[in-house]
Amino acid sequence: MPQLSQQSYIAGRWVSPTGPEFTAQNPVTKAMLATYASCQETEAEQAMQAAATAATVYRSKTKDEIALFLNTIADQIEELGSTLLEICNEECGLGLPRLTGERGRTTGQLRAFAELVSEGNWVQASIDTAQPKREPLAKPDLRKMLRPLGPVVVFGASNFPFAFGTIGGDTASALAAGNPVVVKGHPSQPATNELFAHAIDKAIAKNGMPAGVFSLLQGNTIELGTALVQHPNTQAVGFTGSLKGGRAIMDVAAARPSPIPVFAEMGSINPVFIASDALATQGSTIVENLADSVCMGTGQFCTSPGVVITVKGTDFANALSKILTDKPRGVVLNKRIGESLQSGLQALASHAEVSWLSDVNIVNEDVFSPPNAVFATSAQAFINDPSLQEEVFGPATLVVDCDNANQMAAVAKSLSGNLTATVHATEKDVDQAAELFNVLEQKAGRVIMNGFPTGVEVCPSQHHGGPYPAGSQASATSVGSDAIVRFARFVSYQNLPDALLPSALQNSNPDTLMRKLNGRFNTEVIS
Ligand code: NAP
pLDDT on residue 357: 86
pLDDT on residue 123: 98
CATH topology for 272-449? Aldehyde Dehydrogenase; Chain A, domain 2 (3.40.309)
Q: Give phi and psi for 162, each to the nearest 5.
A: -100, -60
Using the mean position of ligand 1's atoms as its centre, give its distance from the Cα of residue 337 in Å.
10
Mean pLDDT, range 253-277, rounded to an integer: 97
Is residue 165 over pLDDT 90?
A: yes
Residue ranges per structural domain of the chain: 9-23+33-149+162-220+478-486, 272-449
Mean pLDDT, range 82-97, rounded to an integer: 97
Mean pLDDT, range 64-71, rounded to an integer: 98
pLDDT band (50, 70, 90) for residue 86: very high
Residue of 265, 295, 391, 402 with catalytic role: 265
pLDDT on residue 48: 98
pLDDT band (50, 70, 90) for residue 314: confident
Q: Which of 230-239, 349-358, 407-416 bottoms out in mean pLDDT, i.e. has the lowest?
A: 349-358
pLDDT on residue 365: 73
Mean pLDDT, range 113-138, rounded to an integer: 98
pLDDT on residue 366: 87
Sheet holding 236-240, edge to edge: 13-15, 8-10, 214-217, 181-184, 152-155, 236-240, 262-265
Pocket test for ligand 1, best of 221, 234, 242 (most atoms within 8 A of CB): 242
Of 131, 200, 201, 146, nearest to 178 by C-alpha is 146
Closest Cα to atom 5 of ligand 1: 241
Is residue 288 over pLDDT 80?
A: yes
Each residue's pLDDT tens digit, 450-508: 999 999 999 999 999 999 999 999 999 999 999 999 999 999 999 999 999 999 999 99
**Can 9-23+33-149+162-220+478-486 and 272-449 be said to share one CATH topology?**
no
Q: How confident is the prediction for the chain on average, in pLDDT?
A: 97
Percent of the chain with pLDDT over 70: 100
Mean pLDDT, range 387-414, rounded to an integer: 97
What class has domain 9-23+33-149+162-220+478-486? alpha beta
Using the mean position of ligand 1's atoms as its centre, give its distance from the Cα of residue 220 in Å.
11
Mean pLDDT, range 70-99, rounded to an integer: 98
Side-chain-side CA neighbours of residue 337 (13 Å): 26
**CA 301 – CA 316 distance, rounded (Å):** 23
pLDDT band (50, 70, 90) for residue 90: very high
Mean pLDDT, range 268-272, rounded to an integer: 98
Mean pLDDT, range 370-397, rounded to an integer: 96
pLDDT on residue 358: 79
pLDDT on residue 515: 98
Structural contact between residues 486 and 175, judged by C-beta atoms closer than 8 angstroms: no
pLDDT on residue 359: 72
Of 174, 333, 371, 175, nearest to 261 by C-alpha is 174
pTM over 0.75: yes
Report the pocket of ligand 1 as residue ranges, CB < 6 Å.
155, 157-160, 164, 184, 186-187, 220, 222, 225-226, 240-242, 245, 248-249, 265-267, 302, 337, 391, 393, 419, 464, 478
pLDDT on residue 361: 78
pLDDT band (50, 70, 90) for residue 384: very high
Exposure string of 505-526, with b = 16+ CB inside 10 Å and e = fewer, is bbeebebebebebeeeeeeeeb
pLDDT on residue 360: 76
265 is catalytic: yes
pLDDT on residue 273: 98
Using the mean position of ligand 1's atoms as its centre, give its distance from the Cα of residue 251 in Å.
15
Each residue's pLDDT tens digit, 13-50: 999 999 999 999 999 999 999 999 999 999 999 999 99
pLDDT on residue 267: 87
Q: Which atom of ligand 1 is nearest to the CA of 229?
A: 20
Structural contact between residues 302 and 268, judged by C-beta atoms closer than 8 angstroms: yes
Closest Cα to atom 16 of ligand 1: 245
39 is catalytic: no
**CA 317 – CA 46 distance, rounded (Å):** 54
